[in-house]
A and B are shown apart, each in its own frame.
Chain A
């Protein structure tokens, strides 16, 4: 095997493992694998989006009141923060493709900071919901329901259960993403990413943008679509 690899001028490096013929083939295989993982994530979040749509269709009036109790400006600001982090992430990937070792670290740190800002704002929004007694449980109460009875309050708790499940799962993905970014920063500081080998930066970039896309759909569905009824 070693002599065979030698004939083709290959050595096993980070840029080319011996089971692949070319670095391109190896990179394509890694990218395909990451996309297949992301598709499983799409189906995973898809179930939650579906549950939300079904219950919003079943209890439209209660869901409209519950949805408009969320602060749209914090949500919009957080969308902008997450889009900024996607820009810095793609610039980190570009720096890795060009082998600009200092720039990779700089853009990864910026991405991590913006991810932290997003999670901070999210925590503030959740704390507001806690203060307003909008967390499902014995002390739950949502104002403005008509009729304001136990049944409507139950349907409103359904909205907030879905709200916390969806934003919570999204935030969990952000926390995992932040851990992956920390790993990338440590590795990038060693200077191992180059135009020949930057697959981890590229694939974690795909993950980060995917989490951004989930928020791109969560924002209008949870914050916006019933706003005009108020």
Chain B
């Protein structure tokens, strides 16, 4: 068999740097949780979580080396998750806005 595999092997330094980044973000999100940012506490916490997710997916899960088809499937999955969250929350959170007879 010809050795035609062209898998990308990242350096240990890359992985260690990503890991250090993840630890820094964990410390940051824990520390900032004790600061009163009002409603922005949720925004900051989820923003940091999304950054961590991107680091893990792009580097540890090799999405940055993956095929276009795999990337499309990943984005498609996140799109469906977005539909699930946005439409349900849009319904639940807007229920109090207009008076509904009988409620």
List A residues at the B interface (Cβ < 8 Å): 9-11, 13, 15-16, 22-24, 27-28, 31-32, 35-36, 38-39, 42-43, 46-47, 49-50, 53-54, 57-58, 72, 76, 79-80, 83-84, 86-87, 89-91, 94, 97-98, 195-196, 205-206, 209-210, 212-213, 216-217, 219-221, 223-229
A54 neighbours in B (Cβ, 8 Å): 88-89, 92
Q: Which of B34, B36, B85 contacts A46 (CB 8 A)?
A: B85
* 4 interchain residue pairs of minimum CB distance: A39-B77, A220-B45, A224-B33, A227-B33
Could you tell me the distance between the alpha carbons of A200 and B18 in the complex, rounded to whole angstroms? 23
* Minimum C-beta distance from A100 to chain B (A): 11
A97 touches B7 (CB 8 A): yes
Tell me whether A227 and B84 are in contact (CB under 8 A).
no
Residues in A with CB closer than 8 Å to B29 are: 219-220, 224
In the complex, whether B98 has a CB less than 8 A from a CB of chain A is no
Which of B37, B53, B69, B73 is close to A228, meaning CB atoms less than 8 Å apart?
B37
Q: CB distance A225 to B74 under 8 Å?
A: no
Assess the A72–B15 pair: CB atoms within 8 A: no
Q: How many residues of B contact A (CB 8 A)?
A: 54
Pick the residue among A46, A80, A212 that contacts B56 (CB under 8 A). Answer: A212
| With A32-B73, A94-B12, A220-B46: A213-B19 Cβ-Cβ less than 8 Å | no
Question: Contacts A15-B1, A220-B29 hold; do A24 and B85 have CB atoms under 8 A apart?
Answer: no
> Given known contacts A220-B29, A224-B45, what 4 new A-B pairs fall within 8 Å (CB)?
A54-B88, A86-B22, A220-B48, A221-B45
A contact residues around B69 at 8 Å (CB)? 28, 32
Task: Give 1 or 0 for each of B1-35: 1 = CB within 8 Å of chain A CB.
Answer: 11111110110100110010011001101100111
> Which chain A residues border B42 with CB–CB below 8 Å?
225
Given A50-B84, A224-B30, does the pair A42, B77 have CB atoms closer than 8 Å? Answer: yes
Interchain CB contact under 8 A, A209 and B60 = yes
